[in-house]
Structure 1
Amino acid sequence: MREVEKFQMNLKYYREKNGWSQQQLAEIINVSRPVITRLETGEQVPDLTYLLSLSNALHVSIDHLIGRDQPPNELLYEVYGNYHTEQQLSHIIDYLKKQPKMVAILNQLLLVKTKDRKIIEDMLTTIIEKSIKISE
C-alpha cells in the first residue's frame, strides 16, 4: 500500500479516534472542511504544511501519519500480546498472512466508528456461524 493510501486511512482513523468531525479538525488546523475531505479521499495529496499541522493536532509523527513507522495499534497489541499463549490465534494469523484481501478489509474495519464496527462484527459472526452450520 502506498504512503498516500496509508495517510488517508490514518488521517481518518486518528480524527475519529479523537472524536472529531472533519469540520472540527479543519478548524483546529485552520483549513476548510473540504480540504480534510479531499485529504481523506485522496483527491488531494498533503503538502508539508498540512502534514506538520495534522501531526501536531493528532499527536503522531509524520512518519506514522503516512504509514512509514507502524507501531502496533491497540488491536494489534491485543492480538500479538496473546499470540504466543493461544495456539488457535497462530492459525488465524497464518490464515490472514495468506489472505491479503481479508487483511485489507479488516484494516478498513478498524477505521469504522466503534459503535458501527460492533454492528459489523456481529453481522460477520452471524454469517460465519450460519455458514458453518450449513457446511456441516
Structure 2
Amino acid sequence: LGFDNDMMKQPTREFSGGWRMRISLAQALFVKPDLLLLDEPTNHLDVFACTWLESFLQEWERTVVIVSHDRGFLNRVTTSTIFIHRKRLWYYGGSYDTFLKVRAERRKHSESIAKSQAKRTADLKSFVARFGHGH
C-alpha cells in the first residue's frame, strides 16, 4: 500500500485521511476474512492506492461486498451485483455495467407486458360494453 519503514513507526493520528484509509484497508486485509465489507473504499485514496486495491481485489478469492459510487471501480473488480429493491434481493452476474443493461432490458420487457395487458383489458371492457350485459 506504499508504506515505507519510517511511516510504519508513526502513530495513526499523524496520517492524512487517505493514509488512514490505507491503514484501515491493511488491517482488514491482513486478517483474511471470509467476508470483506467495503463501504466506499476508493474515497480518500489516490490513483496508486486505487490501482493497488483493484489489483488486490481481482485476485482475492473470498467474498467481498462493496458499496461504492465509483462505477469504473465496480466494473473492474466485481463479478456479480446484488440489487436491493423493495425489500427484495436481485442477483445479476457480470460487471456493474452488465447489471445496468440487464436491469434496463428487464424493465423494458415488464413495461411491454404491462402495456399489452392494459390493451387486452381495455379491449375486453370495450367488447363487454358493446355486447355484454346479457343482450
Range into which the TM-score falls when normalised by the shorter chain: under 0.3
Superposition TM-score, scaled by structure 1 size: 0.25
Higher normalized strand content (fraction of residues) = 2
Q: Which has the higher helix share?
A: 1
Structure possessing the higher radius of gyration over alpha carbons = 2
* Higher relative contact order (Cα pairs below 8 Å, separated by 6+ residues): 1
